[in-house]
Amino acid sequence: MKKSGVRISRSDSAFAAIVYLLAAISIIIIIYPLYFIIIASVSEPSAVSNGKVWLFPHGFTTDGYKALLQYSAIWLGYRNTIFYAAAGTAWALAVNIPAAYALSRKDLPFRMPLNFYYLFVMFFSGGLIPTYLVVKDLGLFDTWLVMIVPFSVSIYNVIVARTFFSTSIPADLLDAAQIDGCGNLRFFFSIVLPLSKAIISVLALWTAVGIWNSYFNALIYLQDKAKMPMQIILRNILITNQMTSAMGTGEAAQVALRQANLIRYAAIIASTAPIMCFYPFVQKHFNQGVMIGAVKG
Amino acid sequence: MSKASSNARTARFFHRLRASTGLYLLLLPSFILVLIFAYRPMYGVVIAFKDFKPALGIAQSPWAQPLIKHFLKFFNTYQFSLTLKNTLALSFYSLLAGFPFPIAVALAINQMRAKKFQLFYQTVSYLPHFISTVVMVGLIILWLSPGNGLIGQLYGIFNAKAPNLMGMKSAFSSVYVWSDIWQHTGWNSIIYFAALSSIDPTLYEAATVDGASRWQKIRYIDLPLLMSTAMILLILSAGNIMNVAFEKVFLMQNQANLSASEVISTYVYKTGITQTQYSYSAAVNFFNTLCNLSLLIAVNQVSKRLSNNSLW
């Protein structure tokens, strides 16, 4: 080792050790509860309630998953969610990205009032019932369109993309294109978009995860069981039925409760695994997005 | 002369407007959506001052007598002080307890010299953020179920019987806040980590030459630089003090904890959507929005005075 003028002091290595120790503890706090769900989902329910499931599954069983396969509502919900996530993400990008670009252009006439027009709705809204009445008036209540179109403008995402455009599309590029007679639309579609894959993929991921996980719009605006997204079905399995199945005492009720919990573990894993497995591969993009937004929030 | 130049300016402006047609086309879809689904409901707020009848529509429905009838009704119910108290308590608890953790995590990540471990740590700590609210509440219920869950095991080590936290109204706010901290601390640290990575490395080098320890570098370089980020985030969350996340509170509610878990947003939902008292619910909601807006403006003003950090 080359010895520089400055030695690494003993207190600094102690400090580093403490940082790593705390990091290790917090990793256990994050991972273990999730790991517990995984091993509980394949363990005998009575072993779970007797506290035998600790580090490894006990009395291996796949009954929870088998019961879940029989539960057709959740697979219908799964299908609906995939559709809402795919269509909703495509639509949201088609709406938000062009808006962000237009707002990023310094030469846009009425730029200030337009920015205000978009920002204002972040701080003031008509509220639940007035919005609900608008959706009803337009005949969008209980249609699949309500899950995709009305609430697709995300002001936060527009701001992030606007920041990206104004910092990473050089002004010279626009000047050169304009001298060559290239119009705004063509410039956007054939020059700006290809240069913006990073921000497009970030917003696509954010939007898709958001739709995958959301249940509020479905709770308010949907009634038809066949249109319900997965999160609504999950709510029935995980939370609403919790109260009813916990009622009653005695051995039979206890067994039923344990069986129901087994299905719950399996449902949590089946619904969350896609995102959890996919996420580490795209993590870098997610962070970049936050960083772009942080430059000038 | 001056008329000619003003004519020329007008002509230039119209030329610029025409040249920007493409940009306006790009803006149009989002402009219309915001108009219909954000601004039109703002007009709909007038139903808070009317006796709204769906058959008559907003314009034809009669004005409430007196105009603030629904507001007065809300102020006179026992739910007013209950929901207001619960909303504020939950918000301030979240804000205060949740505030230091992301900063600490960002500082710690920034201190990790082993890059592979740093990446691993980031991946793990961001992971819970992607769990949906429904699943999160499902997890909370399963973990805290005294007979089957993690908590039963934990108490089992000490041969004690676990309490049923989900059934205790005194435990509601802590369960809500600490599960939130568990889920979002890692993710919320990203913005601070981004601020830390933008610090000029020569500052650290100079500090090293001066014999500063790692702790001193955090104390005198990192923390002061994080303060402005923290201030902006604090202002933004002040504007949301009254907007306790509806989704999570609503899902965590049960008969046993209702007196601690009924907040304004869940009350708006129940009176509006479930009981269809449209005008009343809109009034409660509007009251909430006004409180939020004034809090945001007030905190922003204070912050502008004290630290020069401001949203506008």
What number is the average pLDDT over the span A165-176? 88
Residue pLDDT, tens place only, B75-127: 999 999 999 999 999 988 998 898 899 999 999 999 898 889 998 999 899 88
Position A181 scores a pLDDT of 86
Q: Is the pLDDT of residue A84 over 90?
A: yes
CB contact under 8 A, B138 and A134: no
Q: How many CA atoms lie within 13 A of A110 on its CB side?
A: 12
Architecture of the A63-297 domain? Orthogonal Bundle (1.10)
**Model pLDDT, residue A138:** 95
User: Do both B176 and B30 map to the same domain?
Assistant: no
Q: Are residues B6 and B139 in the same domain?
A: no
pLDDT per residue as tens, chain B (312 positions): 566 777 888 888 888 888 889 999 999 999 999 999 999 999 999 999 999 999 998 989 999 989 999 999 999 999 999 999 999 999 889 988 988 999 999 999 998 988 899 989 998 998 899 899 999 999 999 899 887 778 877 887 887 888 888 888 899 999 999 999 999 999 889 888 888 888 888 988 899 888 888 888 898 889 988 888 888 788 777 767 777 778 899 999 998 899 999 999 999 999 999 999 999 999 999 999 998 888 888 888 887 787 776 766
Q: What is the pLDDT of residue A242?
A: 58
Chain A, chain B: beta-carbon pairs less than 8 Å apart: 275
The predicted structure's pLDDT at residue A101: 95
In angstroms, the CA B198 to CA B215 distance is: 19
Residues paired with A29 in a beta bridge = none
What is the tally of structural domains in chain B?
2
Has residue B9 been placed in a domain? Answer: yes
Q: What is the mean pLDDT of residues A249-256?
A: 70
Residues found in chain A: 297
Are B244 and B265 in contact by the 8 Å Cβ rule? The answer is yes
Domain of residue B168, residue span: 69-307
Does A145 reach chain B within 8 Å, measured CB to CB? no
Of A21-25, A258-262, B21-25, B114-118, where does mean pLDDT reach its minimum? A258-262
Q: Report the CATH number at residue B95.
A: 1.10.3720.10
Note whether residue B291 is domain-resident: yes
Q: Which of B121, B125, B213 sits opposite A9 (nearest CB)?
A: B213
Sketch the domain layout of chain A as residue ranges.
8-61, 63-297
pLDDT band at A67 (very low <50, low <70, confident <90, very high): confident
Domain identity same for B220 and B150: yes
Any chain B CB within 8 A of the CB of A261?
Answer: yes
Closest partner residue to B289 among A127, A237, A279, by Cβ?
A: A127
For residue A22, CA distances in Å to A15, B121, B186, B192 come to 11, 11, 14, 18
In this prediction, residues A47-75 reach a mean pLDDT of 84
B56 within a domain of the structure (yes/no):
no
Q: Which of B22, B143, B296 sits opposite A33 (nearest CB)?
A: B143
| CA B170, B171, B177, B178 torsion-angle sign | positive
Please check whether residue B50 lies inside any domain of the structure. no
Residue A53, Ramachandran bin (φ over 0: left; ψ between -120 and 50: alpha; else beta): beta
Closest partner residue to B285 (CB to CB) among A37, A117, A129 is A129
User: Same structural domain for residues B129 and B171?
Assistant: yes
Please check whether residue A114 touches B, CB under 8 A.
yes
Residues of chain B neighbouring A125 (CB-CB closer than 8 A) = 38, 41-42, 289
Residues B302 and B232 in one domain: yes
Let me know whether B18 and B167 are in one domain. Answer: no
Instruction: Kindly state whether residue B55 falls inside one of the protein's structural domains.
Output: no
Are A202 and A286 a contacting pair, CB within 8 Å? yes
pLDDT at A3: 43
Predicted confidence at residue A296, as pLDDT, reads 44
The complex's ipTM works out to 0.87
Query: B207 and B125, same structural domain?
Result: yes
Are residues B43 and A126, on separate chains, in Cβ contact within 8 Å? yes
In DSSP notation, B173-205 reads: HHHHHHHHHHHHHHHHHHHHHHHHHTS-HHHHH
Model confidence at A297, pLDDT cuts 50, 70, 90, reads very low
For residue A4, pLDDT over 70 is answered with: no
**CA-to-CA distance for A228 and A216, rounded, in angstroms?**
11
Q: Which residue of B has its CA nearest to A267?
A: B135
| pLDDT computed for residue A1 by the predictor | 41
Q: B149 and B288: one domain?
A: yes
Distance CA A48, CA A45 (A): 5
B124 domain residue, yes or no: yes
> Does B75 lie in the same domain as B11?
no
| Contact criterion met (CB < 8 Å) for B29 and A98 | yes
Q: Scanning the structure block, which residue is given the tokens 């109260």?
A: A243
